[in-house]
A and B are shown apart, each in its own frame.
Chain A
């Protein structure tokens, strides 16, 4: 699981403009990882899998995400350290997770198909390449099957393929079969009070080649919407006028 900047927030850049400034940002669990956790829990509900939630100790507010996973039904939660301090790049994360999984193998790794800030590639294929395991991403359903799993992979326009995959394997989840379940705050507090996070230090695998960030910048607005201001009623009137002018509504 990865904590990523909450995109509702204003994103600032570091003074040298080669990274985003994380100091004052609010972090949330990557939405695709929330979907991946849900799919893992559905797999547990259906076939009794043991679910271990894994987060990186270097991620801001990762404890909260891990305790929430426990409150939702994960059997264990691992807070992983051992890599470089700045572990935002997918390559760094994949190497550390590969080191951890070499020591503590899993039958199936389920993670989010992508994260909003993974500029050097997505975790599922990169991790699978380190582990030498088959992988499938953009998955919208995972079910246990003889000797492996049946996964549904989605393509543009809604076409899907069902694949039979031998485990161990790595799956990148686009969306779970149902919306992520809710964990009541009392259960999260109970999980925190019980303090069930297991701290593990892993030896990272050899890092892969990475791109070099020259600079980061905000997109230049080549065009921008003409903003309609005023009360809700005034803006509604302006929009109704635009639609009427084009003959899209009557009256």
Chain B
């Protein structure tokens, strides 16, 4: 047993390890070095994916038919078993669907404190300290994970992926599938891939994007006029898509698409971490929001607090 190890839960599509997993492995390498431990990656499902985890010291592989695709209860049963067997100091999970889904349940079962929405991790005098971005990124909380174990669910993009990748062959330890995998209270009925988009916002040079500040479906037309004048598609942050004002194919952010246009115009978008994750790499970001404290202004190159209902028509006029 190596109690100062850092464990990472691998996420994958069945064929490819996710970018977020590499970010976690990179962060885990630094933490493990500070703690004097190793980096172990819990890999559920196809064992051959271990070949993509060269930056890990050890891959803990559980393979079972119930783990072929992500299934919450199956992953929880497997993760609980691996944690009990390996007793790491810290478990890192990405703050995506599995992290939001399992993190807190695994923490309760493992009797470990959890830090959510983590954007920074450090070891301070033997204590693991996590920085957590809450309230839409407006406040940062420095959290200690005291005791012998802890869980951190880490926001995508908080760490670079490069340090988590290496052309090496990790040691693979097979962990026998726990009996609980044969007695699950849920099953996978269907997998649906995202529908083909009416337009592909990921290839656009220029995007005009709207957020909650647009207030109503009728108002979306105002921004659509600007998009039409520029000949570019409209994209949006999550609330606009959830409200049904624009299709899912236009959503930028963690649960939508990642975009990198030459210019991104954001109207009425506050800049929640989930949204920033999808657009912060745009070459030029211009943001319009009446709240001068909106986090979008921390990533935008240019900003204005002029009301979008005044600015958008004026801009449409100039660019028509």
How many residues of chain B get a CB closer than 8 Å to chain A's CBs? 103
Given A212-B143, A218-B140, answer yes or no on A128-B132 (Cβ-Cβ < 8 Å): no
Of B2-10, B37-45, B50-58, B293-301, the one with at least 4 CB within 8 A of chain A: B293-301
Indicate if A138 sits at the interface (CB-CB under 8 A): yes
Residue among B101, B109, B117, B311 making CB contact with A136, cutoff 8 Å: B101
Chain A residues in 8 Å Cβ range of B297? 224-225, 227
Q: List residues 115-174 of chain B with CB under 8 A from any CB of chain A.
A: 115-117, 129-130, 132-147, 150-151, 153
Q: Are A138 and B101 in contact (CB under 8 A)?
A: yes
Of B21-29, B59-67, B81-89, B189-197, the one with at least 4 CB within 8 A of chain A: B189-197
Interface centre among B186, B194, B292 (most CB of A within 10 A): B186
16 chain-A/chain-B pairs, Cβ below 8 angstroms? A20-B139, A31-B239, A35-B242, A117-B134, A119-B115, A124-B104, A125-B103, A129-B108, A159-B192, A169-B185, A178-B244, A211-B114, A215-B141, A228-B303, A235-B306, A236-B315
Extra A-B contacts (16), CB below 8 Å, given A130-B108, A134-B185: A114-B116, A118-B116, A119-B143, A120-B104, A121-B116, A121-B153, A125-B100, A156-B96, A159-B191, A162-B189, A211-B144, A225-B303, A227-B292, A227-B297, A227-B302, A248-B262
Chain B residues in 8 Å Cβ range of A249? 206, 230, 319
**CA of A116 to CA of B96, assembled, Å:** 15
Q: Are A212 and B97 in contact (CB under 8 A)?
A: no
For B110, give the chain A residue with the smallest CB separation: A209
CB distance from B231 to the nearest CB of A (A): 9
Q: Are A120 and B135 in contact (CB under 8 A)?
A: no
Indicate if A66 sits at the interface (CB-CB under 8 A): no
Given A129-B104, A232-B306, A248-B263, answer yes or no on A157-B194 (Cβ-Cβ < 8 Å): yes
Given A227-B305, A243-B206, answer yes or no on A10-B293 (Cβ-Cβ < 8 Å): yes
CB distance from B311 to the nearest CB of A (A): 5
**CA of A140 to CA of B173, assembled, Å:** 36
Residues in B lying within 8 Å of A, measured CB to CB? 18, 69-73, 96-97, 100-109, 111-117, 129-130, 132-147, 150-151, 153, 184-195, 205-206, 230, 238-239, 242-244, 248-249, 251, 254-257, 262-263, 265, 270, 284-287, 291-293, 295, 297-307, 310-311, 314-315, 317-319
